[in-house]
Chain A
Amino acid sequence: MTARADLLQGSLDLLILKTLDLEPLHGWAISKRIQLLSRGALEVNQGSLYPALYRLRDRGLVASEQGESEEGRRVKVYTLTRKGRQALERERESWRLFSGAVEAILATG
C-alpha cells in the first residue's frame, strides 16, 4: 500500500452514501468497497464506519434491513433512501465546490 489519505471530517458520510448509491451493501462490504474504489488510497477507519451508519440511519438517509451476505449469512444490509439520494446530490455539489476551491488555491503560485 502506498500513500494513504486521512478522511476529511464529514467526508465519510458522503462516501457511504455514494457507495450505497451503487447497490445495497452490508457494513463490512461498505468499508471494503470504499477501499477498493479509492484504489486503496482511502482506508476507512473501520470502527468509525458504524457510528456513521447509525447516524445516517437515524437521520433517515439510509435504511437497514435483514439481508444475506455473499456466503449466505444473515446480515444487516443498508440501502439508500430517497432522502439519502437527495442528500448525496447536495453533498456531492458542495464537495465539488469545496475541492475545486482547494484545487484553485493550491494551483496558484
Chain B
Amino acid sequence: MGGWRWFERRLQILFGRDGAEREMDEEIRYHIERETQLNLAAGMSPAEARRRALVDFGGVERHKEQVRDVRGARILDDLVQDARVALRGFLKEPSFTLAVLLTLGLGIGGNIAMFAILQTSFFQALPYPGSERLVLGRVTWNGQVGETVSGPDYFDYRERATSLEELGAFTPFVLRSTLTGEGEPDRVAAILASPGYFAALGVDPVLGRTFTPDEGERDGPAVVVISHGLWERRFGGDPAVLGRAATINGTPYTIVGVMPAGFRLAVDTDVWLPMQRGGPWAQARQFHNFVLVGRLAEGVTVTRAQEDVDRISASLAESYPDTNRNKGLALTPLHDALVERYETTLLTLMAAVAVLLLIACGNVAGLLLARGSARRSELAVRSVIGAGRARLARQLITENAVLAVGAAGVGLALATWIQRGILAFVSLERLGPVEPRLSLAAVGFALSLSAFSVMVFGVLPAVRVARSDPASELRGGARTAGSRVGTRVRSALVVAQVALTAVLLAASGLLLRSFDELRSVELGFDPSDLLTASVQIGAMKYPDPASRTDFFRVLAERLRAAPGVEAAAFVTHVPVRNPGGNVRVDLPERFGTSGVFGQLADQRSVLPGYFATMGIPLMAGRDVAYTDAPDDPRVIVLGASLAAAIFAGDDPVGRTVGVDAGEEEPVVLEVVGVVGDVVTGHPANGARYAMYVPYTQRAGTSMGLVVRARGDMASASATVRQALREMDPDVPLAEVGTLDGEVDRVLSSNKAIAVVLTLFATTALLLAAVGLYGVLAYQVARRQHEIGIRMALGAGLRSVVASVVWGGLRLVAVGLILGIPLALWASRLVQEMLFSVGATDPVTYAGVAAFLAAVATVACLIPGYRAARVDPVEAFRRE
C-alpha cells in the first residue's frame, strides 16, 4: 500500500467512521444471511436458523468492537466516553466544578485581558504607512530626555539632517480654542503642526490637502486642516467645506483639508493650525513647545540618524551658547516613545495577573488533590475489576482536559469584561483608543494557560493513582500514606500562595500609600468649593487691554454679587488644571552676563482678587490692582520660594526683576507683593516657582475663571452661565468643573493603578484565605479521631482551637518569610510609580504582614472551632 493510501486509510479510520462502519455492517450482515440460509437448508425453522447463525458468529457487537479496536478507533471512542463520564461527574459535583471554573476562569480571564492589551499596545503597528521608520524627537538636557524642542531648533534640525527623509513638529498639548462663524460658538481643541508633520506621518487627507511649505513660514496664509470628527459634527460631512472660513479665537482661517477618521498622534485634536517659523509658540530658541516626528531615510538606522542630529546639536550649541549649551535632541522609534509611559503600568499589571493566576492555580490544585484523594477508592475498585493503569490515567487526563477547556471558556467570557474594566481605569491616551478585543492569539494563549495550569495539577493525582496499590488503598480508606503526601503538597501550595499574595499586597500597599501622599500634598490653596471654567473672548470684539479688562472686571463683579458666590476672579492658568507657561526670571542686571541665567518660573496673568479667591496667602506687599495701568511701569507679584531664590532673603518688595521675553532685553518689572507657593501642575511635581503679572498690563483673550461658591456647585455653574450670557452670548463657557474634581482627574492614573492592583491583591488574598481554610478544614476532618481522643483525655476547647490555628499560622509565617523578600525584590517594578514612599517602606511591609496574618487567623479560626465541636463519642463510633 502506498504512503498516500496508507495515510488516507488512517484519515478514514479517524474521521470516516460512518463509511467504515457501514462497510463493516454490510459485510457482517451478508455473512449472517448466508449462514442463516445454510441453516435453513439444513432444515431449521427460520427463527432458529437466524439465532444459530448469530450464535455461531459469536456476538455481532463484540466483534465489531474488536474490529474497531484493531482499527485504532478505540482511542477516540474512549476519549468521547471519558469526556462524557467526566462531564457527568462534574455535573454531580456542581460546587467543586463551579469553584474550579470560576477561580481558574477569573485568573485566565485576567491574563487574556492583559495579554490582549499588551499585544495591542506593544506589538500592533501604528496606523501610519511604514511606521517602523518613524521616530519621535525630544529635547535632551545634559543627556536627560525632556519633552519639547524649540521652534528655531526644529527648523535647523529639519534643514540640516540628512538621515531624515522628513521631520515635522507639533505641539504635544492642545490649545483650547473657540471656533465661531456659521452657527453656535464651539470649543475646539487645536494643535500647531508644521507642514512636515503630515509629510513625515505619510497620511493623506480624505479631502483637500495638508499644509504647503510656505504656509509654515512667517506670516504665511491663515489656513487650517480639520479632523474628520469636526467635519462631520460641525459641517455635516459637506465636501464643499474646503475654502470655507473658520474663525478660531477671532482670527479667520481658510479650511484646506480634512484628515481621515481616527488620524491622531499622541493627542486628540479638532484642528491643526500651521506652525510658522518665528510665529506663535516658535519665536525663540528658549521657548520649547514642540515635539518632533521624523521619518528615517531609506536604509538609515535610528543610531545613525541619532549621530546625525548629535552633530547638529553640537554645532547649535556652538552657535547659540546662551540657549543651546547642554541641549540636544533624542530620537526614539515612535512606537517605543508612545508606549514607554505605559510600559511600567502595563508590565506591572501583567505581572500581577500572572501572579494572581498562580495563586488561583494553587486553589484549583488543592481542590483537584482533595477530589483525587476522595476518589482514590473509586479508582482502586475500577483498577481491581480490570481497568488498565494507562486507561485510568488517561481518564483522569481527559477529565482535566474537560476542565481546562471549560476554564478557558469562562476565562474568555470574562476577559472582555475585565479588559473593559482595566481600560476604564488605565487610559492609554497617547496610543489612541485601545478597543477591548480578543485576538486569535489571545484565545490560543488562554487555552495553553488553561491546559498548562490544569494539567500540571490534574496530572499529579493521576500519577499518584497510577503508582498506588489498589489493595492497600481499599484497606486503608482515607488514612493512608498517600493522603499525607497530599496534605504536604497542599500545605506547600498554601505557603506559595501566601508568599505570592504578600507580593501583590506589598505592591498595592506601596501604591496606595503613594496615592495617599499625593492626595495630601499641600496645594497652597483651598480646592474645596472652588468652581473653575475657561472663558475665551473674541480678539476682534475686544481688541485692546482696556476693553478686555472691562469685560472680566464687570463679569467678576456681577458674579460676586450673585447669590451663592463668595468670591470670583480670573487667572490665565488655573492651578493643577493648566500647567506650563514657564519663562526665565532673575535680577535684571544678571541678564546677558553669564549665558544661561535665572530661574524657570510659571508666569500667570491675574485679575485683582485672585489670591483672595483661591485662599493663597499674601505674605508681603500688595495684590495686583486695576490701577496698574497698561502704560504704568510694569509690576509683578512673586511666589515666596521664587522670591527667596532670587533675593536670597532680602525684602523683594520694591526691587525689580527681569523676565525673558525672547528678545535681546528682558522685560523689567517691579515686585509689589509676595504670595504663598502653590502647586501649579501635577501634585507629584510639588509647588513650583510662580509669578503673577496684572492682567491690566498683560491682557490675553483666554482666561480661567475661579469662583468660591457656597453650597451647590451645579447652581453655582448655572449662575456663572447666566451671568456670562448676559455679558456676551458669543462667549462660550468651557471646561466647567471643580478644582477638587480637577485634582482627582490629574491623579486618576495614579489612582487607577493603585485601585486595579488593590483589586488584584484583594482577590489574591481571598483566594489564599480560601486555600488556607481548605487545607485546615481537610486536616480537621481527617484528624477527628485524634482530636476526639485528645478531648476525651481532657484537652480543653482552647487548646484544640489553638492547635489548629497554630498549624495554619505556621504555614502563613513560612509564606511571609518567603514572600516579604520576594516582595522587596519585586517592588523594583513599581518603584518609579511611587511618590514620596520608598519601595522598601517598612510601614507598608509591616502592614502587609499584619494584615495577611489577621485575615489568615480568621481563615484558621473557622476550621479551628469546627475541630472544637468534635464529639469524642461520635468520632470513635465512626471508626
Contacts and interface: CB of A to CB of B under 8 A. Distances in A.
Partners in one complex: yes
B84 interface: no
Nearest to A31: B31
Contact of A47 (B1, B30, B66, B70): B66
Interface string A54-81: 1100101001000001000101100001
Nearest to B60: A47
Given A45-B58, A51-B63, A58 B35 contact: no
Contacts of B26: 76
A54 B65 CA distance: 12
A46 B71 contact: no
A48 interface: yes
Contacts of B9: 58
B34 interface: yes
Interface string A84-106: 00000000000000000000000
Interface in B46-74: 56-60, 62-63, 66-67, 69-71
Contacts of A76: 23, 26-27
A55 B30 CA distance: 20
Contacts of B30: 26-28, 69, 73, 75
Contacts of B1: 60, 63, 81, 83
B58 A54 contact: no
Nearest to A49: B31
Contacts of A54: 67, 70-71
B57 A46 contact: yes
Contacts of A27: 27, 30-31
B67 A28 contact: no
A1 B13 CA distance: 40
B505 to A, nearest CB: 61
Contacts of A26: 27, 30
Contact of B70 (A55, A60, A75): A55
A47 B27 contact: no
Contacts of B23: 76
A83 B6 CA distance: 14
A50 B63 contact: yes
Contacts of A45: 58
Nearest to B63: A47
A28 B66 contact: no
Nearest to B59: A47
A51 B67 contact: yes
A26 B31 CA distance: 9
A100 to B, nearest CB: 31
Contacts of A50: 24, 27-28, 31, 63, 67
Contacts of A63: 1
Nearest to B56: A46
B69 to A, nearest CB: 8
A1 to B, nearest CB: 12
Interface string A14-47: 0000000000001110010000000000000111
Nearest to B10: A58
A75 B27 contact: yes
B6 A60 contact: yes
Given A50-B27, A50-B67, A54-B71, A28 B34 contact: yes
A30 to B, nearest CB: 10
Contact of A51 (B56, B57, B60, B70): B70
Contacts of A58: 9, 70-71
Interface residues of B, number: 24
B34, B35, B69 — most chain A CB neighbours (10 Å): B34
B71 A47 contact: no
A38 B27 CA distance: 24
Given A50-B63, A58-B9, A60-B6, A28 B31 contact: yes
Contacts of A46: 31, 35, 56-58
Contacts of B56: 46
A81 B1 CA distance: 9
Given A45-B58, A58-B71, A51 B31 contact: no
A27 B31 CA distance: 7
Interface residues of A, number: 21
Contacts, number: 56
A28 B69 CA distance: 21
A78 to B, nearest CB: 10
Nearest to B37: A71
Nearest to A43: B56
A51 B62 CA distance: 11
B37 to A, nearest CB: 10
A58 B9 CA distance: 8
Nearest to B66: A51
Nearest to B64: A50
Nearest to B58: A47
Contacts of B27: 26-27, 50, 75-76
Contacts of A75: 27, 30
Contacts of B60: 47
Contacts of A83: 1
A50 B67 CA distance: 7
Interface string B22-45: 011011101100110000000000
B260 to A, nearest CB: 62
Nearest to B38: A32
A81 B24 CA distance: 21
B66 A48 contact: yes
Nearest to B23: A76
B23, B28, B59, B60 — most chain A CB neighbours (10 Å): B28
Nearest to A52: B70
Contacts of A55: 70
B98 to A, nearest CB: 45
Contacts of B63: 47-48, 50-51
A80 to B, nearest CB: 13
Nearest to B9: A58
A60 B31 CA distance: 23
A47 B62 contact: yes
Interface string B657-701: 000000000000000000000000000000000000000000000
Contact of B35 (A28, A51, A73): A28
A69, A75, A83 — most chain B CB neighbours (10 Å): A75
A62 to B, nearest CB: 10
B57 A47 contact: yes
B6, B57, B62 — most chain A CB neighbours (10 Å): B57
Contacts of A28: 30-31, 34-35
A81 B6 CA distance: 14
Contacts of A51: 63, 66-67, 69-70
A47 B32 CA distance: 10
Nearest to B13: A58
A24 to B, nearest CB: 15
A27, A50, A69, A81 — most chain B CB neighbours (10 Å): A50
B41 to A, nearest CB: 13
A26, A46, A47, A63 — most chain B CB neighbours (10 Å): A47
B6, B70, B71 — most chain A CB neighbours (10 Å): B70
Contacts of B31: 27-28, 31, 46, 50
A36 B71 CA distance: 29
28 contacts: A26-B27, A27-B30, A27-B31, A28-B31, A28-B35, A46-B56, A46-B57, A46-B58, A47-B57, A47-B60, A47-B63, A47-B66, A48-B58, A50-B24, A50-B67, A51-B66, A51-B69, A51-B70, A54-B67, A55-B70, A58-B9, A58-B70, A58-B71, A69-B30, A73-B30, A76-B26, A76-B27, A81-B1
Given A51-B66, A75-B27, A76-B23, 20 more contacts: A26-B30, A27-B31, A28-B34, A28-B35, A46-B31, A46-B35, A47-B57, A48-B63, A48-B66, A50-B24, A50-B27, A50-B28, A50-B31, A51-B67, A51-B69, A54-B67, A58-B9, A58-B70, A69-B30, A76-B26
Interface of A: 26-28, 31, 45-48, 50-51, 54-55, 58, 60, 63, 69, 73, 75-76, 81, 83
For the complex of A and B, list the 8 residue pairs with the smallest distance between their C-beta atoms, beginning with the closest: A47-B63, A60-B1, A47-B58, A51-B66, A28-B31, A28-B34, A46-B57, A51-B70
